[in-house]
Amino acid sequence: MSVSMLQKVICWMLIVVTPTAMLAADTGSGPAMLYGRGPVGLNGKPLPNSSAVFPGDVIETQPESVGTLDASGSGVVIFPDSLIKFEGNAVSVEHGAVSVATSKGMVGLAREVTVTPASNSWTEFEVVDMNGTVQILANKGSVNVNCRKGTVNLSEGEYAFPDKSGKCSKGKRKPGTPVPGDDSVLTNPFVIGSELVGGGVIVCLLLCNVSKPFLSQWKP
């Protein structure tokens, strides 16, 4: 079997088994594990193939790299050109974007915005801090978004962002369209995220077509 064919077989196997494996990780314990494709930094140093990460560790991706964080009962995709801090059962976005999938109530933070799953059921959401704007999108389940002034609840497909007064504004995103406040289509995490069905596809992207930049494989 050729290497190319073997990669494709592994990819499709991961698409099937990864969601189950992530759920099984609910009973695991220990530090989170960080994996990267392309140049990823951990506490200012180049990441090897993988590394354990601990609360307070800082992770940085470059414009053509992506990181994945595997914690107990939670998984985080760190999008290109992002800077985040791992806080144990929370991720703080200093710049860029993350996609969080969790059954353990992992929290997302960005400036004065806090995103908390509304229940311990499987929940997926995205946190973006780009061009001076913070945006939240609920992909699966519901989340509570606390802005500087007030809290809103988002159901699947709804988005929210703090307005100039500090209150949370929310709306319903139409399939295939970016949310307000981000003029970039190709690099908009909401557009990219809507194309990724389940954690297995994300892992597949890290293994398949390894000679191509991550973003070049996706067209809105």
Share of the chain above pLDDT 90, in %: 57
Within a domain: 211: no
Residue 7, domain member (yes or no): no
Biggest distance spanned by C-alpha atoms of the chain: 60
| 45 within 8 A of 52, measured Cβ to Cβ | no
pLDDT digits (tens, 9 = 90+) for 122-152: 999 999 999 889 999 999 999 999 998 899 9
Inside any domain, residue 110: yes
Residue 210 lies in a domain: no
pLDDT, position 72: 87
Is 114 contained in some domain?
Answer: yes
Domain membership flag for residue 217? no
CATH number assigned to the domain comprising residue 126: 2.60.120.1440
* Mean pLDDT for all residues in the chain: 76
Token pair 């400036």 is found at 111
Res. 173 pLDDT band, cuts 50 70 90:
confident
- Residue 20 placed within a domain: no
- Find the domain containing 44 and state its range: 26-195
Place of tokens 């969080």: 100
Per-residue H/E/C for the chain: CCHHHHHHHHHHHHHHHHHHHHHHHHHCCCCEEEEEECCEEECCEECCCEEEECCCCEEEECCCCEEEEEECCEEEEECCCCEEEECCCEEEEEEEEEEEEECCCCEEEECCEEEEECCCCCEEEEEEEECCEEEEEEEECCEEEECCECEEEECCCEEEEECCCCEEEEEECCCCCCCCCCCCCCCCHHHHHHHCCCHHHHHHHHHCCCCCCCHHHCCC
Please give the tally of structural domains in the chain: 1
Query: Residue 78: is its pLDDT beyond 60?
Result: yes
Two structure tokens written together for 151: 């809290």
Does the residue 205 lie in any domain? no
Do 82 and 69 form a contact (C-beta atoms < 8 A)? Answer: no
Q: Which residue did the predictor score with more confidence, 150 or 23? A: 150
